[in-house]
């Protein structure tokens, strides 16, 4: 593996250090593919050395001693400032090409790499193939196609109503790129939640610094090796590293930040963005309640809840996090949940090809600690060496139990008993607002009551996992802003 020098950004005076004249072997743990560089940055006053190394796309001039983190960000900012804005001789709404439609070819190449290699080379990590196709590749293809069909309309000038002060003016909104966008992606859907915001940012004409999760090493590797072959390489850089490197990255000024992850890290991201008055999109998840009314078909409810709760081994931000129902409904729901789990994963879920594994030992140990809450009614089997936790249902759970104090993010479903619909609404409204809310009932009045008295993002009666496809109004902690190109352009 070697490195190569790339042409300078037009109009930019480089610092007085020598440019790499030829390929030089550096010996890094992660080889870079064509059109990318993996190099350790130099230590010095601009930044300390990053132990995880640094991967950046071309379009940047690289010094012999390696670029600092600050230098990479500055060059991306210069590239963003050189993005073409709308000119007088351009038609309004004319898209700014960035090569992002080629992301579809990247997805196909990633899938081929997954088929041809072992676990460490997979595109979407330790997910079953069907889940990966549905939740990662399929959604990304849909997002690319959506942007291709609608981008020209999204970018058109938007006429606005005039008031007394603007009666003699031409009043319209013209969309322009923010500039340099930072995308910090999570590990649970590392392809989907990396490429979907990337499509929006590039389609809107921005340059992007991409920070994939260091936990999903499979996807991180594929993004590093394969993605630079398919994008306009002057408009993005990929940064590798852990929490320390992410913290150093956030010290720099960006024009927009897109973050998906936990509320704890979301606070850090928002505080860092506030220092530069940088607008942000935060998608933070939450404990999503699922109310099951007495008037419902328990097997239908169980099928939908089990599918969404245990999809991707429960590591989904919009999955039902706990169930609220009466004791009588619980008695009918438990055998139905057992039937659904058997139907989806067989008599022995551990050997089922449709059940994934927990992402890491750290998360496995956290989830194993939650199994002590209440009483295990279904499942509960674990194998730390395989990061395996069986699809589990807990009963006799109290509000003060650990499993109710944090987002579970695993294949564990606690059931809490409530005496009435009003008690369930009161319980939810006294907690932090969730990302999604589910209500199952054959009565039309129950879902209507939820929409009128509770706030989630958004409220959905019956079909689970629908909120991931819906526009969000931006509730308190769960989600802020949105991802499509019209929202990533001023």
Most confidently predicted of 38-52, 102-116, 387-401: 387-401
Query: Is residue 230 pLDDT above 50, yes or no?
Result: yes
Roughly what angle, to the nearest 10 degrees, separates helices 103-116 and 192-203? 160
User: Has residue 54 got a pLDDT over 90?
Assistant: no
Rounded mean pLDDT, 293-310: 95
Here the tokens at position 410 are 């695993």
Q: Are strands 256-260 and 280-283 parallel, antiparallel or unpaired?
A: parallel
Instruction: Look at residue 233 in the predicted model and tell me its pLDDT.
Output: 72
Report the distance separating Cα 280 and Cα 68, nearest Å.
Answer: 25
Residue 197 has pLDDT above 80, yes or no: yes
114 assigned to active site: no
φ and ψ at residue 38, rounded to 5 degrees? -120, 115
Query: Which member of 76, 290, 296, 317 is catalytic?
Result: 317
pTM (predicted TM-score): 0.75
Residue 375 has pLDDT above 60, yes or no: yes
Best-predicted range by mean pLDDT (149-158, 282-291, 294-303, 440-449): 294-303
pLDDT at position 51 = 29
Confidence bin at 389 (pLDDT 50/70/90): very high
Question: Can you give the pLDDT at residue 203?
Answer: 86
Check: CB of residue 281 under 8 Å from CB of residue 481. yes
Binned at pLDDT 50, 70 and 90, residue 18 comes out as very low
Give the pLDDT of residue 346: 94
Residue in the structure block whose two tokens are 């994008």: 231
Peptide bond into 266 cis (omega under 30): no
Q: pLDDT value at position 227?
A: 80
Name, of 213-222, 246-255, 458-467, the range with top average pLDDT: 246-255
Asked if the model's pLDDT at residue 59 lies above 80, the reply is no
pLDDT band at residue 322 under the 50/70/90 scheme: very high
Residue 16 pLDDT greater than 80, yes or no: no
Beta carbons within 10 angstroms of residue 378's beta carbon: 19
Q: What's the confidence (pLDDT) of residue 81?
A: 61
DSSP letters, 415-476, are EEE-SSHHHHHHHHHTSPPPS-EEEE-S-THHHHHHHHH---SSEEES-TTGGGGS-----T
The confidence score (pLDDT) of residue 39 equals 26
User: Both tokens of residue 58?
Assistant: 């071309």
pLDDT at 129: 82
How confident is the model over 98-103, as a mean pLDDT?
59
* pLDDT for residue 299: 96
- What's the confidence (pLDDT) of residue 100? 55
Residue 460: pLDDT over 70: no
pLDDT of residue 237: 85
For the CA atoms of 312, 463, 476, 158, the dihedral, rounded to the nearest 10 degrees, stands at: 110
pLDDT attached to residue 102: 65
The chain-wide mean pLDDT, for the chain, equals 74
Mean pLDDT for the stretch of residues 441-457: 68
- Do 17 and 63 contact (CB within 8 A), yes or no? yes
How much is the average pLDDT of 223-233?
78
Indicate if the pLDDT at residue 393 is higher than 60. yes
Residue 245 catalytic? no
Active-site option among 131, 245, 283, 407: 283
318-335 burial code (b ≥16 CB/10 A, e <16): bbbbbbbbbeebbebbbe
CB neighbour burial string for 61-90, b if at least 16 within 10 angstroms, e if fewer: bbbeebbbbbbbbbbbbbbbeebeebeeee
Question: Is the pLDDT confidence value at 41 over 80?
Answer: no
């Amino acid at each position: 593996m070697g490195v190569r020098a790339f042409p300078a950004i037009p109009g930019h005076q480089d610092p007085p250090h020598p440019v790499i004249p030829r390929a030089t072997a550096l010996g890094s743990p992660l080889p870079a593919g064509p059109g990318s560089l993996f190099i350790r940055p130099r230590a010095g006053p601009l930044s300390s050395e990053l132990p995880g190394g640094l991967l950046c796309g071309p379009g940047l001039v690289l010094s012999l001693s390696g670029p600092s983190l600050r230098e990479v960000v500055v060059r991306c900012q210069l590239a963003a400032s050189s993005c073409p804005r709308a000119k007088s001789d351009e038609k309004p709404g004319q898209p700014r090409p960035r090569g992002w439609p080629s992301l579809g070819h990247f997805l196909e190449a990633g899938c081929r790499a997954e088929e041809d290699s072992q676990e460490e080379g997979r595109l979407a990590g330790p997910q079953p193939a069907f889940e990966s196709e549905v939740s990662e590749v399929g959604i990304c293809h849909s997002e690319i196609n959506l942007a291709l069909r609608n981008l020209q309309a999204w970018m058109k000038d938007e006429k606005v109503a005039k008031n007394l002060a603007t009666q003699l003016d031409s009043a319209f909104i013209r969309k322009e790129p923010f500039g340099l966008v930072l995308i910090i992606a999570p590990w649970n859907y590392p392809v989907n939640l990396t490429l979907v915001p990337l499509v929006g940012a590039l389609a809107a004409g921005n340059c992007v610094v991409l920070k994939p999760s260091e936990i999903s090493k499979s996807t991180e590797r594929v993004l590093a090796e394969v993605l630079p072959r398919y994008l306009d390489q002057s408009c993005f850089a990929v940064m590798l590293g852990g929490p320390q490197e992410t913290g150093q990255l956030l010290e720099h000024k960006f024009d927009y930040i897109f973050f998906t992850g936990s509320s704890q890290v979301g606070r850090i991201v928002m505080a860092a963005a506030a220092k530069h008055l940088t607008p942000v999109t935060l998608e933070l998840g939450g404990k999503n309640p699922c109310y099951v009314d007495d008037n419902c078909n328990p097997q239908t409810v169980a099928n939908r809840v089990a599918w969404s709760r245990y999809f991707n081994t429960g590591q989904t931000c919009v999955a039902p996090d706990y169930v609220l129902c009466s004791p009588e409904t619980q008695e009918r729901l438990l055998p139905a949940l057992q039937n659904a789990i058997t139907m989806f994963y067989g008599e022995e879920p551990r050997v089922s090809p449709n059940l994934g594994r927990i992402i890491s030992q750290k998360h496995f140990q956290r989830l194993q600690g939650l199994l002590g809450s209440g009483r295990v009614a279904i499942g509960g089997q674990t194998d730390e060496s395989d990061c395996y936790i069986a699809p589990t249902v807990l009963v006799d759970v109290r509000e003060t139990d650990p499993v109710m104090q944090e987002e579970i993010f695993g294949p564990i479903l606690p059931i809490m008993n409530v005496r009435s619909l009003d008690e369930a609404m009161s319980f939810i409204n006294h907690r932090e607002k969730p990302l999604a809310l589910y209500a199952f009932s054959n009565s039309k009045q129950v879902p209507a009551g939820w929409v009128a008295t509770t706030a989630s993002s958004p409220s959905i009666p019956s079909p689970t996992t629908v909120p991931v496809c819906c526009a969000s109004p931006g509730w308190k902690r769960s989600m802020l802003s949105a991802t499509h190109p019209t929202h990533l352009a001023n």
